[in-house]
Structure 1
């Protein structure tokens, strides 16, 4: 059977000119039982379009793991380590992820109480709410009327010891119905976005880079980000910005001396831009909450030996946390504008497969009592590190 693809159904808020390549619904194939030739086509489609949607899929945890593993066959560990998220209570992720016992690479996420699910007798699932993480919150009155926020913009990655996963698979098993909500940025811009209840919001890292002005493109192509050791424990006491894009700088992070034992060799430093292995495009991929330092390479020299103009022409090693966060925010905030966000309208048995090294995403919204939500999530710590810009890329954009 021929694999057919159609573009994602974009909301009225989206700028369709920025979504020409982003997102395809795939028809005519069972993602849980792909033949080798079918998988090869799916792999190319994913890296080309960043996200693939399969509707009305029956998928076991074993099949979900097998599908994700096909993109990186030597991998065996969940992106944060098998069975680790449930045991590390200090981590900000601990309340939200429950490991499927027989397939530890697959996590149970959602909202409400679940009984006898895939070997789990009972689980109290918790939908991530901005009320537990943001410095400020929307009023109870506004929340009751349907106002909400992005929780946290991120890519799936441990950011310490384990390389970032290449692909994430999200599978909707029980999806609550309800009225749409208004996601407010509350950052002084007046930006807001109508979203389906319990949406997962996606933005393209390629678009995030493409729309930057020249001076920020130059900064991005020359920069590397250093992440804190055990970043999800480090960031746990801190508060997020109202847009969900990074943290406020209040000095609340866990001191490095108070973190669990860590090794300098396991700290991760990655390029700001990650290169797509199929298209060669550059994707702006930074987890803003875990970043703690920036390394900026100097600008290429002109014929007389002097650096060109631009930000940090002589290069820099930036360790002031507020400065680092502000620069990352300046690079990323344009890319989460309402017209550039795809808020997926989940239906039961939807499978969303996305290029985790090419997109950013966020949990959104809140549920009233009695709205159970059950999803399976799978990603695998990769066998290699992300590729950064080539010398040609640096000469072109610096």
Structure 2
């Protein structure tokens, strides 16, 4: 029997957030790992405290343990990296290439990286509208709600992402503005990572919406993070504004194989609870494939459909905004939650995190026809 203790962050929101105590990552037994895995797929975001001694290698090995067949970093080697919207956000640890360094500020040396300037993503570089500069340190937005996934080629969405807090600025909070006409706001710790449950998002759909989600698939754009590099996001971070600013398909890198374009279920099944999550990356979706074989390819309509399905699930009371402390190692179920970078830092506020995810060996498990009809 494992001695690991698992405590939900909020018993009123039981599928989103838990703290795991009494665990040693270096000596974790198979029984301990089973307990940890069950906790992850029950609470979907779990935090292991006081892990400052966790090395990049241990982090990578722990992440891989959820799927031993996984090998490469979840985004692989990004084609046309300089045009990709992911390009400024990540630095690779030289001796552990599955692990990326993210954050804000100047780092003179860390794990083989020297004189690195980290750039925390800011909504003014990505959103169609922005918060005025004089309000920037008090107010912020969800930068981009997303799944960690390449969504192109043979790189299947990673099962699990691990985030390690090495250096965390503290001392103030910010207010997230949805700025979408709802007057929704959310007070958050500086530099939080925000999570929402795809299972709650699915459960809160109408019966008609659930049938639509269970019977439909989404098609993602080729080279998706280059495709949206010239477009802008909605103010709530939940998908793009349709202005015709996406990179034209003929101006993207070549599509080497027709099946490099990924078509995935809208609903992904939890391996432990068997529940379905509404799991769509709203920024890079391009088409919707319907049950009868027809395809919705009007981009504005596709985005409106997806936004209507997902927007109730990011309501303030449904968001878990993790209050980071140095040494926190957070694991999240990348097949069951959406997450977003949040916050705006002053130039002297240094944030240093490590991120690891590994491309899965198989695509997400969606509904079977019999399950969907039932």
Structure 2 length-normalised TM: 0.96
Give yes or no for the alignment of 1:366 onto 2:344. Answer: yes
Instruction: Deviation per CA, 1:285-310: give whole Å up to 9, x if none.
Output: 10011100001114xxxxxxxxxxxx
Aligned length: 370
What is the alpha-carbon distance in structure 2 between the residues aligned to residue 104 and residue 339 of structure 1?
A: 37
Q: How far apart are 1:24 and its partner, in Å?
A: 1.2
- 1:1-398 aligned at under 5 Å gives the runs 2-8=3-9, 10=10, 17=12, 19-57=13-51, 58-81=53-76, 84-85=77-78, 88-144=81-137, 146-161=138-153, 162-262=155-255, 263-298=257-292, 316-396=294-374
Flag as ranges the 4+ runs of structure 1 deviating above 4 A: none
Instruction: Deviation per CA, 1:85-109: give whole Å up to 9, x if none.
Output: 5971111000000000111100000
Q: How far apart are 1:279 and its partner, in Å?
A: 1.1
Q: Is the 8 A contact 2:16 2:196 kept in 1?
A: no
Q: Is the 8 A contact 1:227 1:268 kept in 2?
A: yes
Q: Is the 8 A contact 1:226 1:291 kept in 2?
A: yes
Q: Is the 8 A contact 2:15 2:197 kept in 1?
A: no
Q: How far apart are 1:183 and its partner, in Å?
A: 0.1
Q: Counterpart of 2:87 in 1: which secondary structure? A: coil
Instruction: Deviation per CA, 1:200-223: give whole Å up to 9, x if none.
Output: 000000000001112211211111
What is the alpha-carbon distance in structure 1 between the residues aligned to residue 135 and residue 354 of structure 2?
A: 30
CA RMSD, Structure 1 to Structure 2 (Å)? 1.4
What is the alpha-carbon distance in structure 2 between the residues aligned to residue 371 and residue 395 of structure 1?
A: 52
Q: Is the 8 A contact 1:85 1:97 kept in 2?
A: no
Q: Counterpart of 2:82 in 1: which secondary structure? A: coil
For structure 1, the residue ranges without an aligned partner over 5 or more in a row are: 11-15, 299-314
Q: How far apart are 1:316 and its partner, in Å?
A: 3.5
Instruction: Deviation per CA, 1:215-247: give whole Å up to 9, x if none.
Output: 211211111000011100001100000000000
What is the alpha-carbon distance in structure 1 between the residues aligned to residue 190 and residue 39 of structure 2?
A: 28
What is the alpha-carbon distance in structure 1 between the residues aligned to residue 318 and residue 272 of structure 2?
A: 23
Structure 1 length-normalised TM: 0.91
Q: 1:170 to 1:220 in 2, by over 3 A?
A: same
Q: 1:45 to 1:319 in 2, by over 3 A?
A: same
Q: Is the 8 A contact 2:79 2:253 kept in 1?
A: no
What is the alpha-carbon distance in structure 2 between the residues aligned to residue 122 and residue 88 of structure 1?
A: 21
What is the alpha-carbon distance in structure 2 between the residues aligned to residue 85 and residue 229 of structure 1?
A: 12
What is the alpha-carbon distance in structure 1 between the residues aligned to residue 340 and residue 368 of structure 2?
A: 29
Q: 1:274 to 1:238 in 2, by over 3 A?
A: same
